[in-house]
Structure 1
Amino acid sequence: MKLSNEIKHIFNAISQTKVGYIPRDGQLIMSNQIANMLEQRESKVITIEGGTGCGKSLGYLIPTIQKMLQHNQNSTEQLSVVIATANVALQQQLIHSELPILEKAGLNFNVALAAGRGRYFCLSNAIKSLENTNFDTRETQLIEELIVKQGNENWDGLKDNLIDDNPILEQTWPKVSAQNVQCKKCPNHDNCPLIKARKAIDKANVIVANHALVWSDLTENRILPAPDKTIYVFDECHHIPKSFRDSLHKSLKLSSFAKLFEKDASDTTSIITSVVNMDEATPYISANEISLLMTNMKDGLRTLKNYAVFMIQQQQTINQSELVNVQFLEQDIDIQIRFEIDQRITPTIAQIIHHLESAIRWLNQQKKLSEQVKKELLKAMSLLRSMQQAYDTFVMLTQVDSTTPIAKWIANKSTHTIDPIFNSVYIETGHFLKENLFDKSHATILTSATLRTLGTFDRYLTQVGLTFKNTQLLCIQSPFNYKDNAILNITNSMPIPNLQNEKEHTESIVKKIKTDFKHHLGGLLLFSSKRQMSAFIEWLGDDILNHCKLQYTDSRQNLIARHKQDIDQGKKSLLIGCQSLSEGLDLPGEYLTYVGIAKIPFGDISSPIDNAEAFYCRKNNGNPFKDIMLPDACSRLIQSTGRLIRTMECKGSLAIYDSRLVNKQYGQLLLNTLPSYRVQVS
């Protein structure tokens, strides 16, 4: 493999400045391929599956930063590199570990972290919070400590850099964090951590962010450089399909929607009444008429609420549960209801705005339009347009576009009352990514340890809007010796883990865990549903339960810290949770030598999004199990089993308590896609 002189020079420099560093084959291959892509420009996107341990971070940092700096030396149009990750831990690793290695090797660049507003401390909000007499002493004391830390410049105001294990930090933070308001008017503007961070971004040419901030910036903000002047790197890019879809999720709580209308309607009526009382009445506005029109809108909302409550009550009866979703597939909310609401709301708002515009023109012609009256009428129009915007959001949430697959549903998340929430999310988001990211960017690098499912990139490329023609593909194998260091145990006599057998299947896991975890200190047991996890914990004996760290009982950070502390003290510790607990979990060596997986992690087809995706798959003559459920389960299974071997020295055992892996044809397909563990069927 021929490396460019520049790339070769950087690797040599790192070898001289970092003790014991030897470039890994995977890093060299990855760097070479990315450098060629950026140089030759035959494709703007490269998709790389890099197995755990191949050294992905340096593999993409070296060529992207080197090529960016080289371009900027020879061009007036300056490029930046934006590295987006899925979690804070990797951001911290890049900023405090990986990027300094490149700086020591002689690369000259400016780094900044782009974090969301909510991760920064706001002095003004903290001071306002201290005025709240409802806080307990601990909360007040914590806020005072944060104010002192930020004032003494011992802390940059970023939550991630706060060395504080205060148990009430999480509940207090929202009250002292920066909010989406007009910061320029703030008296603490010049010393604001958020403003300082934004200024640092403007000066940087290497920016570290998370996926969500990039999505937000593409559609709304402009914190980051323009896409055509950016080389994007998406690490952990297997999260992109879900995280980008989540960024397009729209929801509207009916009670909040009604309150907004109520307030804006009341304010508008008050303004118009005050204008009429100024003896500035016109032939176009009447307080009584406005009041009548507002009543029409309220009646429309009442009709909508009655309909939504009725639909939820029906679903509650069917599900025998208060927490339900009412889904709409290729049909609007009842046509008659929608027509009635439309007739009451949209024409009403349009009619009032028309009256106000006519009034302004008439008053102006009559030379009666004072600045105060004009200001009040324009304010009323602004309120009405705000109401129209909110209503347009509602229309989008309840009207099905037959040309675009969309999941739409009414949810009720309260056990005390019925408070309908309208939801909408696009099922197919690939075309959005292609149009707004891949087509516009200078270049994009996608990389993760798990991108192929069932041996191909097909499912992933479809989800992100790419094809084999518009992206280069690269697979780099993990250097780990899975065959000698890990054994995968499968019990073929376990009850099939379907809903009918869930009790028997859970009881079987309770029995198996006693022997499977017996000779291990650190373990991880993963369930596909919170329901089965809860049942397992209920039936587990105290002899093991006393060693368990349970998801949902503490923050993820605290669970992992307690787990590692116990292992360091020679005590046993078993982490128990659902799929989300395993994502990004890095516990090498003795911290994790056993990983148990309750069953093949198929998705929940009953969820509105998964249900809608299956519906549109069938509509296009597809097979939801083959095209969606199996590939996605494959990806989750690879991710979960991948928690065990994290370094060359790691050893341990895996157990998957699902007999379908050996008794079903698709089970063998799944086994074939896993790393080359020694498989033992008992």
Structure 2
Amino acid sequence: MLSDPLKKTIRNAHQRIASSMDDYRPRASQNYLVAEIAKTLAGEYDKKQRICVVEAGTGTGKSLAYCLGALPLALKRNKKLVIATATVALQEQLLYKELPFFAQHSGLTFSYDLVKGRGRYICAHKLHNAVNGEQEQLALMPTLSSPLSDMEQKCLHQLHDAYQNKQWQGDRDSWADVIPDRVWHLIACDKHACQRQMKAHQTCPFHLARQKIAQMDVLVANHSLLLADLELGGGVILPEPENCIYVIDEAHHLPHITRDFSSAAATLKGTQDWLEKLLKFSGKLAQTIFSASASGSQFKLNDALDDVARGMKAVLSMLDSADFQYTEDDTYRFSHGVLPQQLTVQAKDISEASKTALRTLNKMHEALSSDVNDGDVKPFIADPILAESGQYIARLETLQKLWQSYAKESESVPHARWIKRMEYKNHHDYLLSDCPIEVGFYLKDKLWRECAGAVLCSATLSALGSFEHFAHESGLRSEQGVKFIKVPSPFDYPNQAQLHIPKTECEPTDKAFSDYLAKALPNTLDKSKANLVLFASYWQMHHVAERLRKQGWDILMQGELSRDTLIRRHKRRIDDAQGSVLFGTQSLSEGLDLPGDYLTNLVITKIPFAVPTSPIEEAQAEFVEQKGGNPFLSITVPDAAKKLVQSCGRLLRKERDSGVITIFDRRLITKRYGKAMLDTLPPFKRKIDY
């Protein structure tokens, strides 16, 4: 229960924040959100599962709301507050604006920091070896195929000098200039070579950062880092889930990012090539290990690798002779994820052999690490060996994950499995892929049932007026105690914006639609103001831009410049009272913040339906059909509805913003699903031409 002292703490913090903001206005929706988050996390709705799913419209102030609702309770109960975001922009906003302001004015005493993956830090020992090693030696490093160029060498020495002189803390993001990938891969921290238990690595930046994390009250991370921690069992990168209250912002991304983390892929001939290199490397590794038992481990490893290679050769031969009907992009998907019996048999053998190889290589790697720690092997000799064995361990982990899944003949969670045929000048290869269709079970087992509490929030979590689609995708459907909350935006939509659906000469599905857009857009755009046109495809965007440019239109188009440069030029034109026309695709419909005069005229060319052409999307549709459902209505329409809301959300960013949204898609009023989509949009003033 939420105690009276805790309620008072939250109220006092809210009052202090309000009095510190010049433009603060009391918002009933924000107050409600603070109360509901606090009550959920305090266990007033369910004592075991303290989870709330929040859809908060633009302008609600949800970051302030979840800080007020969650942080006092986390501090009181000695839990870490982990805020996970999907974008760097939101992380930076939290770190450099929201949290410093909250810490200064709320009256609460807390510490906060950013948590980054180890790959964003240097390994100090690797940096030292890279600078002090000979060029010939560096060329033999597993991360380099040729010696560093003069420019790369100069950068390497600059990094070393700055780190030695304590002018740089050793993370990639704080270095002012771009660090070339070849240089970074040579010195980056990795979990196999840079281990805290090894004396030479205890002061490496990553390990020092992790020690600092243990002292923080609030940790800001991204979704990928959160999932990486769960993949390792939880409590490895971040604190243990049972000691964390999670705020998952931009939560609509979570199911898709989880699916990517659960996927695996490997080529056949490409794998055979690195298996041969690993066979040769195993001798070097065994000779470096101090223990006399290393030779026995080497024989066991090599036997397992031979078994893997034999299995891969058999699969290659089978695929060469198989009569699969490949698509135009050389892809063949196994219907319902069911493999031919012959391939399943081979998968079982490869899975077992790769498991043995992985276990043995890990054992040898740990033995060498111990030798370094005990002083039996010099670090400068072991480090390049450990770095190389670490790369092979990572490859074996992925390989084993793929074939272990392929070996399963029946499973409760359906998988998409497919092959891509790859043609080269002198040879061919096959890329085999595996991906679970649904990941809700994973999040349920690894996160929701383990954490101390969770708040999932976004401006777009419901679809067609219901949380059902997101709840199913994220594993929260039918879970006891989950509180679903929808908080409206404080915007005065009817007076701030107009939604216009004009007459059109053809449907968006017609071939002539692109030419029609090129003819109709000049009458919709305003050269003196800020315009954003969102397209459903790159091809259509380029086609229309080419036509308009021939008519003298000056267009800023996504893909021709970096996103940052594009937005800067757009804003500069508006600041100079020149007007601007910005063309983009779906990726500009989210996370793009153009308040005030920076956007007053938004054009959406068509409903952003996804075409189910990828093997994963095809498998999802097939799975829904198998259960008697309609994939268009249960997957495609809800996804498109959420994207349409996101697209329309670009126009109004502040309470004083205003403008017009034009949508060139009559299906919003002619189709039943279109009317349902239209009803989920904010209550803009509507102008529909008939």
Q: Please give the TM-score of this superposition, normalised by the length of structure 1.
A: 0.82
Matched, 1:489 2:500: yes
Q: Which of 620-629 and 326-335 deviates more?
A: 326-335
- 2:13 corresponds, among 10, 15, 37, to 10
Which residue is equivalent to 2:268? 254
Q: Is the 8 A contact 1:521 1:593 kept in 2?
A: yes
Matched, 1:676 2:688: no
Q: In structure 2, how many angstroms separate the alpha carbons of the residues matched to 1:272 and 1:148?
A: 35
Look up the equivalent residue of 1:488 and give its one-letter code: L
- 2:206 corresponds, among 191, 194, 197, to 194
Q: Which of 2-11 and 665-674 deviates more?
A: 2-11
Matched, 1:451 2:458: no
Look up the equivalent residue of 1:411 and give its one-letter code: K
Look up the equivalent residue of 1:81 and give its one-letter code: L
Residues 414-446 of structure 1: per-residue CA shift (max 9 Å, x gap): 776644222111111112111111111111111
Which residue is equivalent to 2:437? 427
- 2:242 corresponds, among 195, 203, 228, to 228
- After the TM superposition, which residues 149-168 of structure 1 pair with which residues of structure 2 at under 5 Å, given as runs? 149-151=162-164, 153-164=166-177
- After the TM superposition, which residues 507-546 of structure 1 pair with which residues of structure 2 at under 5 Å, given as runs? 507-542=515-550, 546=554
Q: In structure 1, how many angstroms separate the alpha carbons of the residues matched to 2:269 and 2:36?
A: 54
- After the TM superposition, which residues 344-355 of structure 1 pair with which residues of structure 2 at under 5 Å, given as runs? none
Q: Which of 333-342 and 80-89 deviates more?
A: 333-342
Q: CA deviation at 1:538?
A: 4.0
Q: CA deviation at 1:646?
A: 0.5
Matched, 1:470 2:481: yes
Look up the equivalent residue of 2:686 and give its one-letter code: V
Q: Which of 251-260 and 87-96 deviates more?
A: 251-260
Q: CA deviation at 1:383?
A: 13
Q: CA deviation at 1:598?
A: 2.4
Which residue is equivalent to 1:245? 259
Q: CA deviation at 1:564?
A: 2.5
Matched, 1:214 2:214: no
Q: Which of 479-488 and 146-155 deviates more?
A: 146-155
SS in 2 for 1:183: coil
SS in 1 for 2:526: coil
Q: Is the 8 A contact 1:236 1:448 kept in 2?
A: yes
- After the TM superposition, which residues 22-171 of structure 1 pair with which residues of structure 2 at under 5 Å, given as runs? 22-43=25-46, 44-71=50-77, 78-104=78-104, 105-121=106-122, 139=152, 142-147=155-160, 149-151=162-164, 153-164=166-177
SS in 2 for 1:497: coil
Q: In structure 2, how many angstroms separate the alpha carbons of the residues matched to 1:526 and 1:659?
A: 16
Q: Is the 8 A contact 2:264 2:402 kept in 1?
A: no
Look up the equivalent residue of 2:271 and give its one-letter code: F
Q: CA deviation at 1:475?
A: 1.4
- 2:572 corresponds, among 552, 558, 565, to 565
| CA pair 69-272 structure 1, distance change in 2 beyond 3 A | closer
Look up the equivalent residue of 2:602 and give its one-letter code: V
Look up the equivalent residue of 2:82 and give its one-letter code: V
Which residue is equivalent to 2:670? 663
Q: In structure 2, how many angstroms separate the alpha carbons of the residues matched to 1:385 and 1:173?
A: 20
| CA pair 383-31 structure 1, distance change in 2 beyond 3 A | closer
Q: In structure 1, how many angstroms separate the alpha carbons of the residues matched to 2:670 and 2:339?
A: 44
Q: CA deviation at 1:448?
A: 0.9
SS in 2 for 1:566: helix
Q: In structure 1, how many angstroms separate the alpha carbons of the residues matched to 2:391 and 2:151?
A: 41
Q: CA deviation at 1:227?
A: 0.8
Q: Is the 8 A contact 1:547 1:572 kept in 2?
A: no
Q: CA deviation at 1:21?
A: 3.1
Q: Which of 460-469 and 108-117 deviates more?
A: 460-469
SS in 1 for 2:613: coil
Which residue is equivalent to 2:142? none
Q: In structure 2, how many angstroms separate the alpha carbons of the residues matched to 1:249 and 1:234?
A: 22
Q: CA deviation at 1:178?
A: 3.6
Q: In structure 1, how many angstroms separate the alpha carbons of the residues matched to 2:530 and 2:187?
A: 37
Matched, 1:334 2:340: yes
Q: Is the 8 A contact 1:296 1:345 kept in 2?
A: no
Q: CA deviation at 1:256?
A: 3.5
Residues 434-491 of structure 1: per-residue CA shift (max 9 Å, x gap): 1111111111111111111111111111111113643112111101122222222223
Q: Is the 8 A contact 1:11 1:23 kept in 2?
A: no
Which residue is equivalent to 2:372? none
Q: In structure 2, how many angstroms separate the alpha carbons of the residues matched to 1:294 and 1:329?
A: 31
Look up the equivalent residue of 2:101 and give its one-letter code: I
Using the aligned pairs only, state the percent identity: 30
- 2:639 corresponds, among 624, 632, 642, to 632
- 1:550 corresponds, among 558, 565, 579, to 558
Q: Which of 239-248 and 257-266 deviates more?
A: 257-266
Q: Which of 536-545 and 32-41 deviates more?
A: 536-545
Q: Which of 181-190 and 231-240 deviates more?
A: 181-190
Q: Is the 8 A contact 1:48 1:448 kept in 2?
A: yes
Q: In structure 2, how many angstroms separate the alpha carbons of the residues matched to 1:286 and 1:82?
A: 43
SS in 2 for 1:679: strand
SS in 2 for 1:409: strand
| CA pair 251-263 structure 1, distance change in 2 beyond 3 A | same
Q: CA deviation at 1:239?
A: 1.1
Which residue is equivalent to 1:375? none
Q: In structure 1, how many angstroms separate the alpha carbons of the residues matched to 2:16 and 2:318?
A: 69
| CA pair 14-224 structure 1, distance change in 2 beyond 3 A | same
Residues 543-601 of structure 1: per-residue CA shift (max 9 Å, x gap): 566431323x3433333233323333334433333212322111111222222222111
- 1:583 corresponds, among 582, 590, 597, to 590
Q: In structure 1, how many angstroms separate the alpha carbons of the residues matched to 2:162 and 2:624?
A: 54
Q: In structure 2, how many angstroms separate the alpha carbons of the residues matched to 1:547 and 1:201?
A: 46
| CA pair 521-495 structure 1, distance change in 2 beyond 3 A | same
RMSD over aligned CA atoms reads 4.1
Look up the equivalent residue of 1:303 and give its one-letter code: A
Q: CA deviation at 1:638?
A: 0.4
| CA pair 114-293 structure 1, distance change in 2 beyond 3 A | closer
Look up the equivalent residue of 2:221 and give its one-letter code: A
Q: How many residues align?
A: 635
SS in 2 for 1:203: coil
Look up the equivalent residue of 1:521 and give its one-letter code: K
- After the TM superposition, which residues 431-442 of structure 1 pair with which residues of structure 2 at under 5 Å, given as runs? 431-442=441-452
Query: Can you give the 5+ residue segments of structure 2 that lack an aligned partner in the other structure?
Result: 139-145, 361-375, 377-385
Q: In structure 2, how many angstroms separate the alpha carbons of the residues matched to 1:326 and 1:126?
A: 44
Look up the equivalent residue of 2:418 and give its one-letter code: W
Q: In structure 2, how many angstroms separate the alpha carbons of the residues matched to 1:79 and 1:348?
A: 40
Q: CA deviation at 1:395?
A: 2.2
Look up the equivalent residue of 2:266 and give its one-letter code: L
| CA pair 556-680 structure 1, distance change in 2 beyond 3 A | same
Q: Is the 8 A contact 1:533 1:577 kept in 2?
A: yes
| CA pair 654-149 structure 1, distance change in 2 beyond 3 A | farther
Q: In structure 1, how many angstroms separate the alpha carbons of the residues matched to 2:392 and 2:592?
A: 49
Look up the equivalent residue of 2:207 and give its one-letter code: I
Q: In structure 1, how many angstroms separate the alpha carbons of the residues matched to 2:81 and 2:500?
A: 44
SS in 1 for 2:336: coil
SS in 2 for 1:614: helix
Q: CA deviation at 1:532?
A: 2.9
Look up the equivalent residue of 1:530 and give its one-letter code: Y
| CA pair 340-629 structure 1, distance change in 2 beyond 3 A | closer
Residues 112-165 of structure 1: per-residue CA shift (max 9 Å, x gap): 21112233355566667775786566555555555555555455444444555x
Q: In structure 1, how many angstroms separate the alpha carbons of the residues matched to 2:128 and 2:392?
A: 34
Q: CA deviation at 1:677?
A: 1.6
Look up the equivalent residue of 1:85 and give its one-letter code: T
| CA pair 338-434 structure 1, distance change in 2 beyond 3 A | closer
Q: Is the 8 A contact 2:497 2:659 kept in 1?
A: yes
Which residue is equivalent to 1:406? 415
